[in-house]
Amino acid sequence: MAKELLLLCDVEHLGKAGDIVKVADGYARNFLLPKDLAAPVTEGAKRRLEKLRKERDELAKLQLGEAKTKAGKVGGLKLTITAKTVDGSRLYGSITPGDVLAAIEKDGKVSIDKSQLLMEDHLKETGEFDIPVKLHAEVSTSIKVFVVEG
């Protein structure tokens, strides 16, 4: 037998919040309902979903505004990192995302999370690098990093 449920959250391989889906009784009873991912299709559940959707929209707008503000601060950031070199251009070690974060925190204007730095690989030579920063799904910017011999 199949049970008809209203999804309250996005469920991978099943649907998005607000979708009405048919699932097996066991899946509904043992997984979706106890974890509050879905509710039986009723008017109360639809009102609850509408309330959740409004709260999520407000939170998303707030997060987007914060990300845009932070992007304004991060966008113009220029950092200089000194490192030991082997032959004047090749680094003895490498510059990692942690090193870049330490330089950002030392600058003190803004703080970002390590997961927001999109460094494809560690920096292994001196020079000028643009490191992309993704602050939000819709907001990206970059940081200019100068690696010099020290």
Query: Tokens representing 88?
Result: 């004047």
Residues 118, 125 contacting (CB under 8 angstroms): no
Which residues, at least 6 apart from 26, have a Cβ–Cβ distance to it below 8 Å?
A: none
| Same-domain check for residues 77 and 137 | yes
Residue type, 117: L
Q: How would you label 38-55 residue by residue, b for 16+ Cβ within 10 Å and e otherwise?
A: bbeeeeebeeebeeeeee
Of the three residues 35, 67, 99, the one that is the final residue of a domain is 67
Instruction: Give CA–CA dist 99/105, Å, rounded.
Output: 10
| Same-domain check for residues 49 and 84 | no
| Same-domain check for residues 94 and 36 | no
**8-state DSSP, 62:** H
In terms of Cα–Cα distance, which of 38, 146, 5, 11 is closest to 82?
146
Residue 108 has what pLDDT? 74
Residues 147, 123 contacting (CB under 8 angstroms): yes
pTM of the model: 0.68
2-7 β-sheet, strand order: 20-24, 2-7, 38-40
| Same-domain check for residues 121 and 98 | yes
Of the three residues 67, 97, 123, the one that is the final residue of a domain is 67
Range of the domain at 33: 2-67
Chain-wide mean pLDDT for the chain? 89
Instruction: Give CA–CA dist 82/18, Å, rounded.
Output: 52
| Same-domain check for residues 34 and 62 | yes
Res 14 pLDDT > 90: yes
| Same-domain check for residues 57 and 79 | no
Q: How many domains does the chain have?
A: 2
| Same-domain check for residues 116 and 53 | no
pLDDT tens per residue, range 26-50: 999 999 999 999 989 888 878 887 8
Domain CATH number, residue 112:
3.10.430.100
- Phi first, then psi, for residue 38 (nearest 5°) are -150, 165
Residue 87 has what pLDDT? 86
pLDDT grade for 107, boundaries at 50, 70 and 90? confident
